[in-house]
Structure 1
């Protein structure tokens, strides 16, 4: 049994704790000013005089869009409509002295996600961008808000960092937290801020320390230091030994929530009005969008592993880009895995959903602002997946006027097979602030799910000036003495292994080589080690095609196994910085070797690297193998891949070929014997029309000065038939 003395001591300590710390359990604010905010505020305050007008000349009403979390089933909203009205009433009362009022922008929007509704952690803040309305203040309500392991009342984004405030449901009803968070939204710091040093009681440094306002007394941080009568109970002193005498009623302090009845000081009001007229001016001028989050550190990457990041689904289109993993709901369309990590974005083309995803439905994904450096060789790189018999179109568009208008700079359409393809879009012609869009347009049916992943914006290096690798042809490698000059990459999961006489696992892999004794293969054994989706990368030395016109890569491949993955051949023109898939095959191809040829003519005149990429399947039965690899090159034979659909006696001559500059002579002796007009069409290697020329002459000169280096086709067409010829610009 405890002694009476022990009991008395215990009660005394308990009472002291209640008086001193009893209200320390009140939830704090989680708002954090951005880096170098003190510099921003010092500049701001220089433009505000102490006796400036703290009210707007004309009253304004600012729009608020309310976002309420609910369970995934649509139940248990964090706040009710009556509670939202309480918030509006609080804000209108607190901001009235500045001639500022608030109204609801649109009906309340709901976020149906149980995990967020139960407890929203600040680490998920960036995912809220996708729900924002650009021209309104966005207030999000959750049943609980946390920062790390601590519960908080909420937080708001300072000017230049976002367009939202996040509130804990219970705190939103205490009469002051909503006004407090919008104070941060309009640039105001806590009265106890120490971002540029602690303010002295005598206020000798009030304009350069603390919260930067000289009409808010120095504040030691009031958590637990204000009693139920709203009296300060602390005894702390500043660096000069002066005792603090803080304002316990200022809405930006950490006093009791019920004591924050004094609103804002005169200088705080001046700063709020200045913020509204500059940082947040879009709230009064809807045509001016908010300052967007800017990407200005490169290389930049986004694989959607934690949401959409700073990207947002546009409004006004038909459907959305949806975050997903492990396959889309429909069979025969969409990817089964991500290109990088676990998640990707895709367009759901099903017709049995609301809204219907096809036919010809558009989904637009907007980037944040991207600040490209001057005179840089920047590029956009991403993976795209287009599997389905009715696949539509993916486009990349760019805006240089803050989204007022967009121009298409890349597009692909049609079925590309069940593989991730790689795109590289040159941005070297742009500098300063741009915005990008991914625009997906579904096809004629539900079999048109398209996906994107692994977005990167980075500087592209130039083509290597010299090559000490493969410089003479034909070149061959059958791996009889190892992997030769090829290199195992370290950024992958597993290696390509030299082997002979069968791989260790049954019912997968070859039993012998096709040339010599050895081959290379990917060992898929071991869950988590060799499968699933483990990548093996083998990279060639540089391949010098500067003087080659019709190069080809040929090889034998073996893909036998019930859970076979994907084999790709990839090409880089910038020393391995970026890779483009030139060929791919996936799935079980049977227990036999197959042969494949990959045309490298598109890379004539350049130095490249090749890469063999093997991605194992869902089990150990996915060993794949390569053997008898060759690179060959022919002369500049303009008849390669040419096509003729007439029987007249004719002779077509194109010279010089290859051509470096000047005019290409196109001689059509006998083809236009009747003198009628002949149409000459110039296309690129992929068949895109570059130019169309009409001519009555047997010899036509075509200026190539506007053409980039590469492979082109000339299609000559008149009533007598059609002839296709190829030429190379170096």
Structure 2
């Protein structure tokens, strides 16, 4: 319900009498952001991609590269005033709040700027805002393609609680509501924007139930805020954080360990004046969310964007012509080779690239504002591989790696991703990878949830030189789900694209998630002496339950050659290994270019080397099940053994 001003005035007398008690036991305005079943499912579906991009963030930080990159994100500020035009957040207060927010978000390589000035809304009803009025307010005022932030005098939940503000998690509306006094307190606006970019409260999804995250950190990736460098939080408040920003509570977790939360974290419910920092992993999550599911914002009067006439080529040198597609720009600064140095200040430069993979950054200005955009790994030159090739994707943390390119053709979120274990959606996709047969092995897949029927996702290899007259390609695939779409394979040559070099694989091919991968072979002898690219093309089916996975893409001389027999002839004994913990090799060929790896049951590599003897010493390994992975000239075989 709306605030009752008369009742408020009558109550003020009693509040003055008890002001000292109120100062000690203040009931602070709450955060109204809610974790709904829909937002939780969206997070589950997108978490694999976001986790991979978090790794990219830390690689950037640790290597010192790209540290000057900033991406500009447009905001539409809606300031609500009384019907007579009085009240409301002042422009200077808005500018100060945005400057404060940018100081926080710079560490996530982001900055926010105001698009097209301020939209003033003069309406007493919205000045005293109730959450049930949101649809009417936003439908009349929202600007598509921007983060719409509404600033008003008072925000109330549907249950009558005073709110400092609220936002929507990814998958929800591009809307944030802020109470004016909270917008300028230094921590609540960054807090709500944190929710917008996937950050949870440090005390977890519930404001009424004690977090299940353990103090020892053993479940930090799945419970609480699902971030591991923020300590478990029993829900901080003004009552258990003192004026010196020290936690004074004594609550214990289910193990009996006493919580040691961080009262300074922005995403906590600590005293607002104490909240001064995001953790490193929180910054990584913000960055990863912006790069993946919150990357579609643009201002219609000042926007930065660009394209190139070609972005990749198999030759070792390539001249590329860039086209500025920005709106409202009057000056341009280009860093086209990832060295943090301005290379060109013309609008549409050309540049000759040598072999490598490059980020491209464009900064533009309209004379007042400066905004920036970076396309990561945008240019790929001379990324050529020579057969034999074996790609098991085990070293991949992103689908776009080592010259491979994943592309969402329709822009609806249907794309190739890297994951391990089951895909996020139940009842579709594989349980394990094909390489190791474990939940920790990596594979590439398309996530059907959240996209549209008929959407297309392409996954294109780097340039491959076909050097053998009997070259053959083999890949493993898994297609389980009632609404599985289609998997196509194309060959890209200098002369053009040869579509569907094999018949399309259509519909569900496995009967359960636990079924083994199937294998597909492709004759490449026609392309001997040529440099080609392999393109996997997935078409999304009618609904969400249609994840398509591929793994172990290999190209080498005909798979029936004696190279395969070399590995097939190898036997291992004893199995299980009992006494001296030595694994014996039977029928060991004389070839000296066989390598091996030993992984445990969850796919962790524990031993590796060259198979030059007839024994492998496994004395340092503990009891359990293991996999011996043998590799020879692009061929691989896996043998399971047990140590007792």
Do these two structures clear the TM 0.5 threshold for a shared fold by scoring above it?
Answer: no
TM-score bracket relative to the smaller structure: 0.3 to 0.5
Q: Which is helix-richer, 1 or 2?
A: 2
Q: TM-score, normalised by structure 2?
A: 0.40
Q: TM-score, normalised by structure 1?
A: 0.35
